[in-house]
A and B are shown apart, each in its own frame.
Chain A
Amino acid sequence: MNGEAILPYLIIIPLFGAFSMPIVNLLGRKAREAWAVLISGATLIVGSGIFYSVWDTKEILVYTLGAKSPLGQGVSFPIRIVWEVDLFGAIMVLMVTLVSFLAVLYSLGYMKHDTGLDKYYTLIIILELGMLGIAVTGDLFNFYVFLEIMSIASYALVAFRNDTWEGIEAGIKYMFVGSIASAFVLLGIALLYGQYGTLTMSYLAVKLAESPSVTAKVALALFIAGLLFKSGASPVHMWLADAHPAAPSSISAMLSGLVIKIGGIYALTRILFSIYGASISVKTVGWVIIIFACITLVVGNAMAVIQNDMKRLLAYSSVGQIGYILLGLGIGLAAYGSQTGETAMAGAIYHTFNHALMKALLFLIAGVVIHQLGTRDLNELSGLAKTMPKTTFAFLISAAAIIGMPPLNGFASKWLIYESSAVFNPILGAIAIIGTAFCTAAYVKVLYTFLGRPGESVMKAKDPEGSMMIPIILLTAAIIVMGLFPWQISDKVMIPAAKALENQLAYIGAVLGGA
């Protein structure tokens, strides 16, 4: 399959689908739902095609918007917007399209009783569009535009149920924090443009390697600050714990599973590895990220233990898991170019993918519980296992996976991170294990509640049917199947992705042509 030819459709299909939604909506509810499923399904097909193409050919896809050389021949630098997809980007594309498709499918049943659903489906597809754009772009300002598309759609979706104070309050907090973080990123981009006069990531990498400057370091600090805000790293994680529970559950699944990773981790990784790469002191920056990661993974997991609200517990657990991914990223940077760094980076990428599946599944299950019982207070959910056995089984699988139990998918990715952190610095390994202890405590608490003595209110509950159950079954199956081949996936996909990420010259050469 020719990846380069289908790459633009990754953006065209959701863009067309989102803005034609109000027109399709005139045909009625059925047409609207069919359209949403069709668009996200088509995007999933294109996304899988791109992933397969990049994985199969092991080459970096480059797509140029407009003419290849608008000023005619003889211009030695790229002056147009390029999209560039390496294996890491392709994994993210697959992850985004898959989870978004399942979230849309789930919304059909979950959002049935809400109004204004044409706007809901428009926004959910725009959210997907923004994330896909971030994953494919090779231009800094283009990245900022997609970041803002994603952020604005997610602010609006958090506050979607504007008849409740919870959604509004969380939406306002999320919006202010997110806008400040975006302003940081924009300021960083402005400084880099002022210093080097280009926005193409690969050309910027060349310029940075030629003449590193203080401005570039200030810009890097702004990028790190802004993107750590967006990824919900501690000590600025408070907005996440408010925003993710307040959104409708299908949106929480996308926010926790995708948005914080694409808008935070992926963007940060891309900037650190592909733009700055070896031209900065990787050890210092790596350690800065490691310190944030350690705080995040302890605070997030520990705060999860004391929550009584099921979705809030899951949101804090997301903060904790972001800590693991950041730890892998930080070690990958601090041990740049070594075997340990590669393993850590592969673990971070693997855990990003796995956590997207696991946390999406957990939030969808929380949504089912809210749908059936109207509450997410853990004190009132006692004994759910009797009346909702399938849901409880799915919860058991995903909780075991997120803790890192073999033979589920979370085990392999966490193992890679533990292993590399223990090799790099045993203290970091110990901190990671402490985080997992808290994480285990939090999920055991929920499971204990589910398996406890049934209360009166849970007796009426039952497993959901149709469109709400299918995504849960698919995600559970994905977790189990991925758990059966942990090392094959790691060797065939994740390690090459980490290698492609570290190979900055290939990233540059794909655009500039053998530079």
Chain B
Amino acid sequence: MIQFQFITAFLLTVLGIYAFLAKRNLIKLILALDIIDSGIHLLLISLGYRIELNQIPTAPIYTGYETLKSPMVGPLPQALVLTSIVIGVCVLSLAVALTINAYRHYGTLDVRALRRLRG
């Protein structure tokens, strides 16, 4: 079975890195950071998805597990990704706030204009 989720995660990360290197607009750079993060999150979350005995895994809830007996997805990656999403939101909001300030000082969102510091 082809594991599409890993291919998608790889493509998302590469796409993000490409956008980060090729784009010049601050907003697009922030989006590129988010896409890279999403790719890594997808990778992490798919690590927890395990198909055993040809059964689709269910949510990791222990109550009633004895009667159900079906495989469960790994709960740890989900916790990690939740934490990581929260961190991503922090970085995102800070980035947007800085971008607003940069627009006030420079009058443009072009990252090439941010070259006044030298030496």
Query: Which A residues lie at the B interface, using CB under 8 A?
Result: 141, 144-145, 148, 152, 155-156, 159, 162, 164-166, 168-173, 175-176, 179-180, 183, 186-187, 190, 193-194, 199, 241-242, 246, 306-309, 312
Nearest CB of B to A482, in Å: 32
Is there an interface contact between A152 and B91, defined as CB atoms closer than 8 Å? yes
Interface centre among B29, B43, B77, B98 (most CB of A within 10 A): B98
B55 within 8 A of partner (CB) = no
Is there an interface contact between A180 and B119, defined as CB atoms closer than 8 Å? no
Is there an interface contact between A172 and B116, defined as CB atoms closer than 8 Å? no
Residues of B close to A162: CB separation below 8 A: 101
Q: Which of B26, B77, B83 contacts A172 (CB 8 A)?
A: B26
Is there an interface contact between B119 and A312, defined as CB atoms closer than 8 Å? yes
Is there an interface contact between B40 and A307, defined as CB atoms closer than 8 Å? no
User: Given A152-B94, A307-B119, A172–B33 Cβ distance below 8 Å?
Assistant: no
CA of A153 to CA of B86, assembled, Å: 15
CA of A392 to CA of B6, assembled, Å: 59
Interface centre among B26, B84, B90, B117 (most CB of A within 10 A): B117
Q: Which of A148, A169, A194 contacts B116 (CB 8 A)?
A: A169
Chain B interface mostly: helix
Give per-residue flags for B78-103: 1 if the beta carbon is below 8 A from chain A beta carbons, else 0: 00100110010011001100110110
Residue of B with least CB distance to A190: B44
Residues of B close to A141: CB separation below 8 A: 80, 83
Residue of A with least CB distance to B92: A179
Residues of B close to A144: CB separation below 8 A: 84
Across chains A and B, the number of contacting residue pairs, with CB separation under 8 Å, is: 87
Is there an interface contact between B44 and A168, defined as CB atoms closer than 8 Å? no
CA of A48 to CA of B48, assembled, Å: 41
24 A-B residue pairings within 8 Å (CB atoms): A148-B87, A148-B91, A152-B87, A166-B116, A168-B102, A169-B117, A173-B114, A175-B94, A175-B95, A175-B98, A176-B29, A180-B33, A183-B37, A183-B40, A187-B13, A187-B40, A187-B43, A190-B43, A193-B44, A193-B76, A193-B77, A193-B80, A246-B117, A312-B119
Q: Which of B37, B43, B105 contacts A165 (CB 8 A)?
A: B105
CA of A489 to CA of B102, assembled, Å: 47
Interface residues of B in 28-48 (CB under 8 A from A): 29, 33, 36-37, 40, 43-44, 47
Residues of A close to B47: CB separation below 8 A: 190, 193-194
Which 6 A-B pairs have CB atoms at the shortest separation, nearest pair first? A165-B105, A194-B47, A148-B87, A190-B44, A242-B117, A168-B101
Is there an interface contact between B106 and A165, defined as CB atoms closer than 8 Å? yes
Residues of A close to B90: CB separation below 8 A: 148, 152
Residues of B close to A170: CB separation below 8 A: 117
Is there an interface contact between A169 and B95, defined as CB atoms closer than 8 Å? no
Is there an interface contact between B116 and A165, defined as CB atoms closer than 8 Å? yes
Residues of B close to A306: CB separation below 8 A: 119
Residue of A with least CB distance to B26: A172
Residues of B close to A155: CB separation below 8 A: 91, 94, 98
User: Given A173-B114, A175-B94, A183-B36, A159–B44 Cβ distance below 8 Å?
Assistant: no
Residues of B close to A166: CB separation below 8 A: 116-117
Nearest CB of A to B74, in Å: 8
Residue of A with least CB distance to B117: A242
Residues of A close to B44: CB separation below 8 A: 190, 193
Residue of B with least CB distance to A178: B91
CA of A180 to CA of B30, assembled, Å: 11
CA of A307 to CA of B80, assembled, Å: 44
Residues of A close to B43: CB separation below 8 A: 187, 190, 194
Is there an interface contact between B36 and A172, defined as CB atoms closer than 8 Å? no
Q: Which of B37, B76, B98, B106 contacts A171 (CB 8 A)?
A: B98
Nearest CB of A to B43, in Å: 5
Nearest CB of B to A303, in Å: 8
Nearest CB of B to A10, in Å: 21
Is there an interface contact between B114 and A172, defined as CB atoms closer than 8 Å? yes
Beyond A179-B91, A179-B95, list 19 extra A-B contacts (CB 8 Å). A141-B80, A152-B94, A155-B94, A159-B98, A165-B106, A166-B116, A168-B101, A169-B105, A171-B98, A175-B91, A175-B95, A175-B98, A190-B40, A193-B47, A193-B76, A194-B47, A242-B117, A307-B119, A308-B119
Residues of A close to B91: CB separation below 8 A: 148, 152, 155, 175, 179
Is there an interface contact between B87 and A159, defined as CB atoms closer than 8 Å? no
Nearest CB of B to A112, in Å: 23
Residues of A close to B26: CB separation below 8 A: 172
Nearest CB of A to B37, in Å: 6
Residues of B close to A312: CB separation below 8 A: 119
